[in-house]
Amino acid sequence: MDLGALVAEASAILDAASEPFLAGHRADSAVRKKGNDFATEVDLAIERQVVAALTATTGIGVHGEEFGGTDVDSPWVWVLDPIDGTLNYAAGSPMAAILLGLLHHGDPVAGLTWLPFTDQRYTAVAGGPLMKNGAPQPSLASLALADSLVGVGTFSADSRGRYPGRYRLAVLENLSRVSSRLRMHGSTGIDLAYVADGILGGAVSFGSHVWDHAAGVALVRAAGGVVTDVAGEPWTPTSRSALAAAPGVHAEILEILSSTGEPEDY
Known binding-site residues for Mg(2+) equal 65, 81, 83-84, 212
Q: What secondary structure letter does DSSP report for 123?
A: E
C-alpha radius of gyration, the chain, whole number: 17
Category of 59 on φ-ψ map: left (φ > 0), alpha (ψ -120 to 50) or beta: left
User: Which residues are bridge partners to 151 per DSSP?
Assistant: 183, 203
Separation CA 252–CA 55 (nearest Å): 41
Separation CA 5–CA 7 (nearest Å): 5
The backbone torsions φ and ψ at residue 190, rounded to the nearest 5 degrees and listed phi first, read -70, -40
Sorted by sequence, the CB contacts under 8 Å of residue 232 that are 6+ apart come out as 243, 254, 258
Q: Sort 68 into a burial class: Cβ within 10 Å, 0-12 / 13-18 / 19+.
A: exposed
* Three-class SS state of 27: coil
AA identity, residue 23 = A
Upstream peptide bond of 164 is cis (omega within 30 degrees of 0): no
**Per the annotation, where are the binding residues?**
65, 81, 83-84, 212
